[in-house]
Structure 1
Amino acid sequence: MLAKEDMNSISNDLFLLVLHLSGRIFNPSTMFKGLPIPPSHTKVLFRLAKLGPCPVSHLANDLIISRPNMTPIIDKLIAEGYADRYDAPNDRRIIMVRLTEKAHTLLHSIEQKAKSLFVEKLSALDEKDLLNLKNIIPELNNIVLKIK
């Protein structure tokens, strides 16, 4: 295992990376500008896309949102046609939620917008930096996916 100072150094570098990505590459206010639903609701849609159909309580816990605060978000997503609510097949006391095709379409358009913005930002880099990123990003993704 690495020394504590090395772990702290990695932690500091990751923190700076997140700040830089947020400020220079990924600007949430630009990403979610003009969407038909608030960013908090979009966050729920992205999480549901990752988790798949799941109990509302699981979604709330995963997003660290209290269940009473999650209910109006889910209600709004259902009213707007982005989600469906249904009873769990094995236990009708459990309320499940899933994305609709409309939600998948919205998430796809957000993804395409993000990728276009990334291309625009990256076009300012020279070829050497772009090739470095091309090699580093897949490695970084693989490492980050191992973190629980």
Structure 2
Amino acid sequence: MNREILVENLIEFLPILYKKFFKGLDVCEITKQQFELLYCVGQWDEKPMTYYCSKMLVSKSNLSIIADRLIEEGFLERNTLPEDRRVILLRLSEKGRGFLCDQTNKFKKEIINKLEKFDENDIKRLNEIMQEAREIVTKLD
């Protein structure tokens, strides 16, 4: 029963969270999935493509298409493992690192502007809730 209520709350809350904070934060030049891959590679640099597939919940064939476009644009670089050349590693290029940093800073500024509507008690409470939720949800990994 409690799990069903949680599922209903998540289904209702996640679109609201997206709409209030992230809708309209467009990334110029690349798609949202491409940005998500750049972000993942920025967090966990030089991991196999299968690692990013699991983080993004996409198939390897879909990730290959996303990665190929970012490689063409010069945002990512592709390497192989010396001991197994079939394993493809992705890493940020200098261009990708700069782009990711610029876009992340832009997002942070825009979200901070949206948070101006909250008083300090709201911000403190949201921080506590987010930290607690993160600690619980990371148990899924």
Q: Per-residue deviation at 1:58?
A: 4.2
Q: 1:85 aligns with which of 75, 78, 82?
A: 78
CA distance in 2, matches of 1:106, 1:112: 10
Q: 2:6 aligns with which of 4, 7, 10?
A: 10
| Alpha carbons of structure 1 residues 88 and 25: separation in structure 2 relative to 1, 3 Å | same
Amino acid at match of 1:12: E
Task: State the Cα deviation string for residues 23-78 of structure 1 (Å, max 9, x = none).
Answer: 11121xx2224x222222212212222332123344345531342x4334322212
Contact residue 31 and residue 110 of structure 1 kept, 8 A: no
Answering whether residue 14 of structure 2 is matched by residue 21 of structure 1, we say no
Answering whether residue 141 of structure 2 is matched by residue 145 of structure 1, we say no
TM (normalized to structure 1)?
A: 0.79
| Alpha carbons of structure 1 residues 130 and 56: separation in structure 2 relative to 1, 3 Å | closer
CA distance in 1, matches of 2:87, 2:123: 48
Number of equivalenced pairs: 140
CA distance in 1, matches of 2:54, 2:135: 25
CA distance in 1, matches of 2:37, 2:115: 28
Identity %: 26
Task: State the Cα deviation string for residues 67-123 of structure 1 (Å, max 9, x = none).
Answer: 2x4334322212211111122111123232211122122222222122212211111
Aligned 1:77-116 pairs, distance under 5 A: 77-116=70-109
* Aligned Cα root-mean-square deviation (Å): 2.2
For 1:93, what is the secondary structure of its paired residue? Answer: strand
Q: Which has the larger radius of gyration?
A: 1
Q: Per-residue deviation at 1:22?
A: 0.7
Bigger mean CA deviation after superposition, 37-46 or 77-86: 37-46
Contact residue 74 and residue 83 of structure 1 kept, 8 A: yes
Runs ≥4 residues deviating over 6 A:
none
| Alpha carbons of structure 1 residues 130 and 97: separation in structure 2 relative to 1, 3 Å | closer
Contact residue 67 and residue 76 of structure 2 kept, 8 A: yes
Gaps of 5+ in 1: none
What residue is the counterpart of 1:31 in the other structure?
A: 25
For 1:92, what is the secondary structure of its paired residue? Answer: strand
